[in-house]
Structure 1
């Protein structure tokens, strides 16, 4: 089945395209009904979680996927998607790259990138040789051109080309020579450029093993693409193409074997950088800034080291085999560049994700910590507990709720003023104990014992009946919540299916989470990719 980009773009449905709410702020981790912690959409009330009631929507590649795909397809070092328009930093990129976000600017970007990429590939001897699997010499007919089209097209479209498609591109090859007066090699370059603007390259199109638009099994090449874009953010390799061609991906054993193989490949770095980086927000660290006048050790080199460290931390739970139950307690990867940040740590001050400099920095303001923001980030992102700001309430910044003007020094004292407001007290009573437990760590994650004005840090609190002196005393509560919660399962399900979970997914996610039991991330990936939701194609709603 083929698509034309101009027709897709012209489709009519395409053009249609502080203080927190106390009343909904229970603050009880994992307290939602039937274990679900995410922000579930209502979905179809008739959906009961049976086979493929919702599937993967039609969408275009993310910037990361586009750059990785052209790198592995062409061998290029160019990153044209870095200049494509972005759709915001919240949530998973793939979930906002639905076809309804396909703009004229992006379409033009695709055309420009295709021209540049094709020219780059044919100007480089090694890249050109990889495409020209035979010599399309003058007078040799179109036999060689057809072979090139079939082989390159298989990788570009992530499936074998149909006979009619091969005929059409072969005719274009001939037209380029006879009408445009191109040489055989130039004509091949012309065809490659055209293939790179096809919706079959740019979009993730799934039609299943037959032409019927009804729920059913995906074909082997579609499963291969789902796997490769989940774990590599790129196209399948030869082994995955071979498995697809041999219909080997129809079995759970083969899917699990492929997961192990693919996670062992260096390309799996894209998985933990994109999945964790988008879920937990660490991919925004390059654009975050701290006040270097107040924190002299802050610079771009330290920022880069923080990102490298947190990615190395994520790798321990993907390729390193650590169980998810240790995500909040695992020792940190060492970093020479971050030694100044760790220099004042007392023994036992840090463990796990929440005391990594990357998390502590991102959940702070440039000039001071923000306990409310830190707690909100923990609850919303790590535990999938939604926190909704109150409507029609003027939420003051810290320092504006009374007292002298000037920079906030003692954050705990300022938060007490917020809790004095009935509109704010409900959620601050929940959020502040969690956030203040981390108050020993400054806006770049360095340990401190006092505020800039000399006031001693007070990180004590009570949460769910547990008294603690600092984050180490609160950690057992958070570890237990992470062990019994379903947030990682919800997030990976959403990332793999490229959409937010709907009401019909509740049963599926509960079943996957029960089988996983907080094991390794590799185990969770296997449970997701062997589920019916991942292996079956859904009802076609607007393709």
Structure 2
């Protein structure tokens, strides 16, 4: 069950299971690096024990037949068009827009025991709609690529338009061998080139016949899936071929087929050497193409899309009074997402750590409304980003994307659950059947905290809300439903008239894990507790494992990689090393058939 941010959940806690670990912090130089975390105090939380351990005899499982995600399919289609008609690729893509919109969106699937979250990559289902739309897309691309003799000639070369017919078959086969191999991501053997060419029949360079060939290639399982046979037939675990490894590496880091340099490394075999693989990995990690994959990971991990429109209630009198003179647009909503994504990106490219990402207080926005929320000038996109001046801004926890609700009311329950589940990897049990689905909202005289406490402090809800969900949410009540800092909560009547301005109470007794419990009253203190515990670092590793592998981990079979990722995340190593750990691990270069 996926619950939108607008829904206030009264959650019954069936038990909390924490990600656990220990840590150091090392600050790494960089042009736009995050500020170092605040110093530890004598009241610092003890690092939690490591959650994952390695059983060297365990064999990790693999997805049986990895399907490309929607994003990866779209990138692959663009690649196929650009390989065929590089000078007209943008125009062709624009013509395909209506069909592209019909391709089903991958459904985000939470891990077992989680009420929310999950990654779209985990959706490995196949719908009839996908098959139908993919056929239509393949056909549409084929029709575009062969719509004129000039385009057909650009695909096949001069042999398609000369007076000779004896060379037509060879002309088509050359195109299939070159374009088809890159699109299907492996060198097509002669038998397969022949099979594709046979589709054109007796008219190999006829535009309609060539279109049939292209349609067939784009609907091949090799296009829609990552097909991995390995190089040791019949063995339970087999090394990947150079081209299988190139495709796996490229889709992991760039969500797209291998580029020319990676393809060349696969072709000459250097990708299978330690030196050659490292060279390609370093090149790919420095490429701007990495950002698309990182953006998707961060957005889905932190559930940014749960933030509703900031304009939907623009005519509601309470919302208008709450917002003030300037109404935010949905461009600000997008800017809120980009602010979080750019924080992660700049952490990676500057050599910052996972801890640096948590504590980063720089604002990465050119949106005036969002910059106003942070109290900083807009950022030009180059040079050091401005630092948020407030000491109460605790880095990631107080970015507007994680605080805003699209309503005049904050959501302490949502905020608390996000901290527990997304940032700490602690599971919270499902709500009881009679739980209210109506978001707790302040009244003319009662604050949001008072209403939430009244609704959740007793009965079957109390144990979980009082000890687990509500406390971190209450600590964040110093920020309103747009992410603006506040000392008082403005209460309104239904007509939007202000009725009271009580002080905001941000103090709470936060139990992080075991006996590590502190009474705190600021977001910066909460960030420090989370970081000291190392639960955040372990949790990032766990979430990135799921994103990278398009499946939920097995703590027994995947323990070795998870343990290594956890160690890297906690060690003070660059956050980029966490991404690299996945592809450098021996299991990345092999295929398990067990």
TM-score, structure 1 as length reference = 0.83
Once the 2 structures are TM-superposed, how far is the Cα of residue 173 of structure 1 from its aligned partner? Answer: 2.5
Partner of 2:172: 145
SS of the residue corresponding to residue 467 of structure 1 reads strand
Partner of 2:544: 492
Partner of 1:82: 101
Q: Distance in 1 between matches of 2:371 and 2:593?
A: 54
Aligned 1:352-371 pairs, distance under 5 A:
352-361=395-404, 364=405, 366-371=407-412
Confirm or deny: 8 A CA contact 2:254 2:290 kept in the other structure.
yes
Would you say how many aligned residue pairs link Structure 1 and Structure 2? 501
Q: Give RMSD over aligned pairs.
A: 3.1
Partner of 1:71: 78
Q: Distance in 1 between matches of 2:57 and 2:159?
A: 52
Once the 2 structures are TM-superposed, how far is the Cα of residue 399 of structure 1 from its aligned partner? Answer: 4.7
Partner of 1:468: 520
Q: Distance in 2 between matches of 1:346 and 1:320?
A: 21
Once the 2 structures are TM-superposed, how far is the Cα of residue 374 of structure 1 from its aligned partner? Answer: 0.7
Structure 1 residues 247-256 or 164-173, which shifts more? 247-256
Confirm or deny: 8 A CA contact 2:19 2:535 kept in the other structure.
no
When residues 329 and 189 of structure 1 are mapped into structure 2, their CA distance, relative to the original with a 3 A threshold, is same
Confirm or deny: 8 A CA contact 1:496 1:534 kept in the other structure.
no
Partner of 2:265: 243
Q: Distance in 2 between matches of 1:66 and 1:479?
A: 37
Partner of 1:15: none
1:154 to 175, 181, 187: 181
Once the 2 structures are TM-superposed, how far is the Cα of residue 310 of structure 1 from its aligned partner? Answer: 2.1
Once the 2 structures are TM-superposed, how far is the Cα of residue 53 of structure 1 from its aligned partner? Answer: 3.0
Q: Distance in 2 between matches of 1:354 and 1:85?
A: 32
Confirm or deny: 8 A CA contact 1:57 1:498 kept in the other structure.
no
Aligned 1:322-361 pairs, distance under 5 A:
322-337=352-367, 338-343=370-375, 347-361=390-404
Confirm or deny: 8 A CA contact 1:214 1:539 kept in the other structure.
yes
Query: Deviations for 1:422-471, whole angstroms, at most 9, x for unmatched residues?
Result: 31122212222211111121222122222122111111222243232211
Query: Deviations for 1:115-171, whole angstroms, at most 9, x for unmatched residues?
Result: 112223344899767643563235123222111101111111111112211110121
1:456 to 503, 507, 518: 503
Partner of 2:284: 262
1:520 to 574, 583, 593: 574
Partner of 1:507: 560
Q: Distance in 1 between matches of 2:79 and 2:132?
A: 23
1:207 and 2:260 correspond: no
Structure 2, unaligned stretches of length 5 or more? 1-8, 22-45, 83-88, 109-116, 377-387, 492-500, 512-516
SS of the residue corresponding to residue 464 of structure 2 reads helix
When residues 81 and 377 of structure 1 are mapped into structure 2, their CA distance, relative to the original with a 3 A threshold, is farther
Q: Distance in 1 between matches of 2:134 and 2:303?
A: 27
Confirm or deny: 8 A CA contact 2:286 2:349 kept in the other structure.
yes
Once the 2 structures are TM-superposed, how far is the Cα of residue 413 of structure 1 from its aligned partner? Answer: 0.5
Q: Distance in 1 between matches of 2:351 and 2:66?
A: 32
Q: Distance in 2 between matches of 1:442 and 1:334?
A: 20
Q: Distance in 2 between matches of 1:329 and 1:235?
A: 35
Partner of 1:58: 65
Confirm or deny: 8 A CA contact 2:156 2:175 kept in the other structure.
yes
When residues 257 and 129 of structure 1 are mapped into structure 2, their CA distance, relative to the original with a 3 A threshold, is farther
Q: Distance in 1 between matches of 2:132 and 2:414?
A: 39
Partner of 2:213: 191
Once the 2 structures are TM-superposed, how far is the Cα of residue 29 of structure 1 from its aligned partner? Answer: 6.4
TM-score, structure 2 as length reference = 0.77
Query: Deviations for 1:337-371, whole angstroms, at most 9, x for unmatched residues?
Result: 2233224987323242111111212xx36341111
Q: Distance in 1 between matches of 2:305 and 2:435?
A: 31
2:455 to 415, 418, 435: 418
When residues 150 and 48 of structure 1 are mapped into structure 2, their CA distance, relative to the original with a 3 A threshold, is same
1:36 and 2:36 correspond: no
1:282 and 2:304 correspond: yes
Confirm or deny: 8 A CA contact 1:216 1:538 kept in the other structure.
yes
Q: Distance in 1 between matches of 2:309 and 2:57?
A: 42
Name the structure with the higher helix share.
Answer: 1
When residues 127 and 278 of structure 1 are mapped into structure 2, their CA distance, relative to the original with a 3 A threshold, is farther
Confirm or deny: 8 A CA contact 1:35 1:485 kept in the other structure.
no
Q: Distance in 1 between matches of 2:299 and 2:157?
A: 38
1:19 and 2:10 correspond: yes
